[in-house]
Amino acid sequence: MNGIEYVLGEACKILLPIPEEVYRGSDGSPVAVCTLSSISLLKEIASSETLGRVAIAGRLLSENRGIDALIRFVVSSPNVRTVVVCGREVRGHRAGHSLLALYRNGADGAGRIVGSSSPDPVLQTPHAEIERFRRQVTIVDRIGQTDRAEIDRLVRSMTQ
């Protein structure tokens, strides 16, 4: 990331703050749902019976801090074994693409996600936690899927 991109990113955080939106479901559920940039899909899931079937539902907007937060949650939640990635991809950041690349390829010694084409796919999470995350979960790629009924059916099939 060059200096201008960094300054613009920091300015956006101040001028256009994006609140974190995470909805807790059932602590014992083995499934987490990530709706990428689809905030309306996240809110639909949060107000449906699907929330009771998942450990957590949230969005993922960045290829670095967002993935770091997802890893921390999963590693601290040993019941979570599946992460469903759905919704619309984050333009520019391609957070979903980076999450899939991390799952498939890991990160190098500097924390850079191997195979990611996102602008700044560098994680702060310790390498051991990244590897634990990769061993603990299966990621189900439904990037682009914004139909809540389809997500409901998928989650129901995983939690019966």
Q: Is residue 1 part of a domain?
A: no
The CATH number of the domain holding residue 60 is 3.40.50
State pLDDT tens for residues 57-69: 999 999 999 999 9
Q: What average pLDDT score do residues 102-113 get?
A: 97
pTM comes to: 0.87
Q: Is residue 2 part of a domain?
A: no
Number of domains in the chain: 1
Q: How far apart are CA 41 and CA 142, in angstroms?
A: 13
| Structural domain containing residue 147 | 19-159
Which of 36, 40, 142 minimizes the C-alpha distance to 89? 36
Q: Is residue 11 part of a domain?
A: no
Q: Is residue 37 part of a domain?
A: yes
